[in-house]
């Protein structure tokens, strides 16, 4: 991996079949990179946030001339047995005979649109992608990956990534394929992703995502249920589960409130009761102040009830004392 350093300008550089190791930091110093394929290895640890510093563009949008410190190679296409693809290395072509390199036509395998395809020829001029699928990466997805505005494909599937989907992915204005399936991502799918109008394939299947799906507009209107399957806490179309049946995790729903407090929210009940009591009390005072007849009738009623209560209490006490004396 040390050969993939800042001194090596490669377009693209594929590192395949690597031994168990963490993400190679040398890749962050690459320049003029078009395609990075580290899929189907045993890479572990966190995805380096320095990946956001890469300049990934299709080769049709830039000119490039690769160089290396080897000082011994000069040809257009080389595929080294360890899986490192290097282009336009400068040196003496006669010395190539002394090295066990395998030559073949430029060819790329890349997972996109739900399958793994092989690309050859001029189509490679239009590709700009990162494939880190089928590894053992953990931790969160670096939000800085949203700065790779020229990228066309990003595949992080079949890892152990956690945390939310970065809302910064809404800045990937050229992306056509975004595969985050088979991880342990949680939280909501950022509604800002509907702003990405170039997205053709989108999958977050088999994660721990929750809450309502983004609005069915722009490209998200074309995504079917299989893009979201394996997330039992997601709701909304195109899924059969309605969000009215239960809101997202962490948000109290009407049904949960009913289970805890009955058929109504007790806080709202106390507020409405206090306001109603104050209105009735003030209305009674105003009516008694304006109407003398009702005022006198009210006072007589209060007097009668007061006298009745007084004699009821006195009689009850006498009976209680008499009962105790006879015991």
pLDDT tens digits, one per residue of 11-66: 344 444 555 577 777 777 766 666 777 777 778 888 877 777 666 555 444 433 33
User: Rounded to whole angstroms, what are the CA distances from 154 to 56, 113, 175, 226, 327?
Assistant: 11, 11, 8, 18, 92
Residues 240/201, Cβ–Cβ less than 8 Å: no
Between 202 and 284, residue with greater pLDDT: 202
How far is it, in rounded angstroms, from Cα 189 to Cα 231?
11
- List of E strands, 113-198: 115-120, 129-131, 136-139, 153-155, 160-163, 177-179, 184-187
Helix (H) or strand (E) holding 313: helix 292-325
How far is it, in rounded angstroms, from Cα 189 to Cα 212?
8
Q: What pLDDT does 323 receive?
A: 81
Tell me which residue of 224, 217, 173 sits closest to 199, measured CA to CA: 173
State the fold for domain 13-251.
3.80.10
Mean pLDDT, to the nearest integer, of 244-271? 57
- Listed by start position, the domains of the chain span 13-251, 266-325
Instruction: Calculate what percentage of the chain has a pLDDT beyond 70.
Output: 62
Paired tokens of 261: 């407090």
Cβ neighbours of residue 304 closer than 8 Å, sequence gap 6 or more: none
Q: What pLDDT does 92 receive?
A: 42
Cβ neighbours of residue 302 closer than 8 Å, sequence gap 6 or more: none
- Residue 189 scores a pLDDT above 80: yes
Q: What pLDDT does 213 receive?
A: 94
108-160 residue pLDDT tens: 565 555 556 565 544 455 567 888 888 889 999 999 888 888 888 899 999 99
Q: What pLDDT does 130 receive?
A: 85
- Residue 295 scores a pLDDT above 70: yes
Cβ neighbours of residue 67 closer than 8 Å, sequence gap 6 or more: 7, 8, 9, 88, 89, 90
Model confidence, pTM: 0.56
Q: What pLDDT does 191 receive?
A: 93
Q: What does DSSP assign to residue 180?
A: -
């Amino acid at each position: 991996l040390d050969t993939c350093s800042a001194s090596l300008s490669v377009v693209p550089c594929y590192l395949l079949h690597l031994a168990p190791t963490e993400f190679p930091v040398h890749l962050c110093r690459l320049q003029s990179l078009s395609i990075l394929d580290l899929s189907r290895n045993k890479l572990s640890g966190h995805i380096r946030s320095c990946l956001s510093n890469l300049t990934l563009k299709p080769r049709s949008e830039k000119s490039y001339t690769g160089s290396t410190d080897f000082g011994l190679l000069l040809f257009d296409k080389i595929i080294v047995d360890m899986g490192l693809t290097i282009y336009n290395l400068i040196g003496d072509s006669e010395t190539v005979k002394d090295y066990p390199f395998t030559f073949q036509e430029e060819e790329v395998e890349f997972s996109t649109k739900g399958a793994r395809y092989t690309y050859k020829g001029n189509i490679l001029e239009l590709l700009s992608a990162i494939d880190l699928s089928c590894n053992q990466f953990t931790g969160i997805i670096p939000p800085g990956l949203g700065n790779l505005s020229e990228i066309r494909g990003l595949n992080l599937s079949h890892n152990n990534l956690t945390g939310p989907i970065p809302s910064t992915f809404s800045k990937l204005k050229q992306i056509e394929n975004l595969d985050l399936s088979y991880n342990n991502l949680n939280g909501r799918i950022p509604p800002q992703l509907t702003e990405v109008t170039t997205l053709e394939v989108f999958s977050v299947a088999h994660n721990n995502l929750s809450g309502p799906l983004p609005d069915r507009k722009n490209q998200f209107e074309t995504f079917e249920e299989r893009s979201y399957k394996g997330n039992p806490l997601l709701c909304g179309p195109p899924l059969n589960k309605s969000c009215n049946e239960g809101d997202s995790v962490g948000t109290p729903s009407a049904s949960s409130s009913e289970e805890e407090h009955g058929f109504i929210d007790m806080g709202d009940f106390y507020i409405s009761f206090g306001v109603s009591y104050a209105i009735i009390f003030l209305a009674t005072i105003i009516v008694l102040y304006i109407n003398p007849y009702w005022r006198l009738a009210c006072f007589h009623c209060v007097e009668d009830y007061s006298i009745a209560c007084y004699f009821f209490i006195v009689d009850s006490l006498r009976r209680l004392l008499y009962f105790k004396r006879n015991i």
